[in-house]
Amino acid sequence: MDASEQLEIETRITGVLKSIYDPEIPVNIYDLGLVYNIEVDDDHIAHILMTLTAPNCPMADQLIEEVKHKVMGTKGVKECDIKLTFNPPWDKNMLSDEAKLELGFL
């Protein structure tokens, strides 16, 4: 896979992630800053490094399942490998400007 194809798939994944909303905050998980990294390898496996707003999030399993399901349905993706991390821990500074505006922080 060449770099342009990889970038195209990663861009599609970003769009998909922007359609997934945190169940407790009315902002998508991408603009919330929950997605730390998206990388697609030569085998078309999407590797996603992400976090949650809190380690004890009661909706964690559902959110991870939704991410996996939607990313797997993205053109060019054969598999989805999600790694959950809490380092660095999420905080409000990770919000995109759009999310800050929507939540009234700007």
pLDDT in tens, 1-48: 899 999 999 999 999 999 999 888 889 999 999 999 999 999 999 999
Arithmetic mean of pLDDT over the chain: 94
**In whole angstroms, how large is the CA radius of gyration of the chain?**
14
Alpha-helical runs (H) found in 1-106:
3-17, 60-72, 97-102
CA 46 to chain centroid, in Å, comes to 11
Contact 92, 99 (CB under 8 A): no
Helix 3-17 vs helix 60-72: angle between axes, to the nearest 10 degrees? Answer: 140
What is the pTM assigned to this prediction? 0.92
pLDDT value for 22: 87
- For the chain, the first-to-last Cα distance in angstroms comes to 41
DSSP H/E element including 58: none
All structural domains of the chain, each given as residue ranges with its CATH number in brackets, are 3-92 (3.30.300.130)
